[in-house]
């Protein structure tokens, strides 16, 4: 947990659940043009960054538990984490948000369908929304085959069938919370249709939503100018929906 400067436990703070990418990526206090925990905290937010399944540092079995089960235990880990910290009196349960990119962006889309009113707002950057179209467009097929356990048309492959059943697009009927979606135009890892589909779904359901398109960015934010745009839109959305 990262606390705002001058943190006062007698006060209540808006709280952000940060969902890490990867899915097997370490959680560190790194700096990037997108995610900067200290910058988020400096704006008055508590940041919760759980060491969920799939993160290195807890043994091989823990690290492997995310593969072929993206919508399973890892999503339960995130819900358990926000529930645990929400017991603290300084966490404002009426002002909780959920943010993430890549696998973290997928996690945001997945949590949007199962969070049961926990969150007031979501932000997803380059997240996987629909497993079938992702399988047909990504540049990293070896990864998709390993993580999903096979192709969606393999009806006799129980592992693959379970994986594809966990696609966030299958749970849009449960979406009811404002969401901002960011997408890079040159992202070939998680191609543009993933963000477009999620945004269109939110729009068609009448959910407050925003699509931020960075045409010359790939799976990350690499230019300083785009970083300024990203940070401006990130905090503007939170100001509109959480504070």
* Residue 77 CB contacts under 8 Å (≥ 6 apart), including other chains: 50, 52, 53
69, 77, 126, 187: the catalytic one is 187
CA distances from 47 to 21, 43, 108, 210, 225 (A): 16, 11, 15, 22, 25
> Does 133 participate in catalysis according to the annotation?
no
Nearest Cα residue to 112 out of 104, 121, 125, 103: 121
> Does 209 participate in catalysis according to the annotation?
no
Nearest Cα residue to 98 out of 4, 114, 9, 25: 114
Cross-strand partners of 101: 125
Nearest Cα residue to 96 out of 41, 53, 45: 45
77, 102, 115, 125: the catalytic one is 102
Q: Yes or no: say if 182 and 126 are a contact pair by the CB < 8 Å rule.
A: yes
* Residue indicated by tokens 């990867």: 22
Measured distance CA(107)–CA(102) in Å, rounded: 8
Q: At what angle do helices 141-148 and 158-165 cross, to 10 degrees?
A: 100
> Does 187 participate in catalysis according to the annotation?
yes
Residues known to be catalytic: 102, 187, 219
């Amino acid at each position: 947990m990262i606390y705002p400067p001058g943190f006062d436990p007698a006060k209540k703070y808006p709280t952000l659940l940060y969902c890490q990418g990867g899915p097997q990526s370490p959680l560190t206090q790194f700096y990037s043009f997108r995610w900067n925990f200290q910058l988020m905290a400096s704006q008055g937010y508590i940041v919760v960054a759980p060491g969920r399944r799939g993160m290195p540092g807890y043994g091989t079995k823990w690290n492997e538990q995310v593969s072929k089960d993206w919508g399973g235990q890892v999503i339960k880990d995130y819900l358990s984490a926000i529930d645990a910290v929400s017991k603290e009196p300084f966490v404002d349960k009426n002002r909780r948000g959920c943010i993430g990119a890549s696998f973290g962006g997928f996690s945001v889309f997945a949590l949007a369908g199962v969070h049961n009113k926990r969150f007031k707002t979501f932000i997803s950057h380059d997240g996987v929304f629909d497993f079938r179209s992702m399988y047909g467009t990504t540049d990293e097929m070896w990864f998709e085959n390993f993580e999903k356990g096979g192709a969606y048309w393999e009806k006799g492959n129980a592992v693959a069938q379970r994986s594809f059943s966990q696609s966030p697009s299958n749970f849009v009927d449960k979406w009811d919370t404002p969401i901002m979606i960011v997408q890079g135009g040159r992202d070939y890892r998680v191609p543009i249709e993933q963000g477009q589909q999620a945004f269109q779904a939110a729009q068609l359901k009448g959910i407050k939503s925003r699509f931020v398109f960075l045409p010359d960015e790939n799976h990350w934010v690499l230019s300083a100018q785009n970083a300024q745009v990203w940070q401006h839109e990130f905090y503007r959305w939170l100001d509109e929906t959480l504070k």
